[in-house]
Structure 1
Amino acid sequence: MKPFLLLLFLLLTGCAGAIYDTFPRQYPETHTVNITVIRSAAKGILIAKDVLLDGTPIAEIGMGEYLAFRVTPGTHSIGIPESLLAIDYKAGRGYYLHIVPDSRWHSGYFLRTELIDEKRAKSLLSEYANITPTR
């Protein structure tokens, strides 16, 4: 019985795998840019909107949600299809983009992407739901 238990123990412990990060870092933090896209919970289009990074959809964002991700430094175009912001993003910094109803149209059916400061972003983030890139 003891040899059987020893063999069983060795088989079970031999099957234990190593722990790996789900998403390994590709760049040191000082060589990346932190981007947070926040979608307003205010009146506006109710359907989820694609968030684009250099023309490629990376996630859908609904009202009252936010998305955080990293990019390499340099000029990137980020936002929703009808309102992209092309900014020269600097390494080691964080940027906050806010998707809000476009008040110029007075209907709430049009949205725009705007750059906001960290203080304003932090107050919004405490109320909104975090989502992850899907693409």
Structure 2
Amino acid sequence: MADEPCHVCDAASARYRCPACRVARYCSVACYKSHTATGCAPTAPVADDQRGTADAARSLGAEPSEWVLLTDADRALIERSEEVQGALRSRELRDIIRDLAGKPCQALADALERNQHLVDFTDTLLRTISFEAGRAAKDRT
């Protein structure tokens, strides 16, 4: 997406994507160096097996009792939801999500305490997949 602004300086059009976190986009070597110097965290590759998923979740600070794995049906519901798509039109929300990508679970918890927009979006996601509190990941497969 050539029109996306630089994640660091927000001034120039971002032409490159960070190879480590694969989330941040930047316009120059100077912005890349600034991004990596401020705590760029490599994203864990998506694993097909449960062990890989467990390792990835643990690396972000999540314990197995906290996991909620989305099914293909859940992802399809989210993808088709007009309410979710509408919320994602907000640049503020996209920036928050981009900033949280690959960070420990505690960063999400902190962001949820500070940002009502993120809380509303999270509620929308949970409503979209008809999530019930206390439902374990193994019950969702």
Q: Which has the higher strand share?
A: 1
TM-score class normalised by the smaller sequence: under 0.3
Q: Which has the higher contact order (CA 8 A, sep 6+)?
A: 1
Q: TM-score, normalised by structure 1?
A: 0.24
Q: TM-score, normalised by structure 2?
A: 0.24
Structure number with bigger Rg:
1
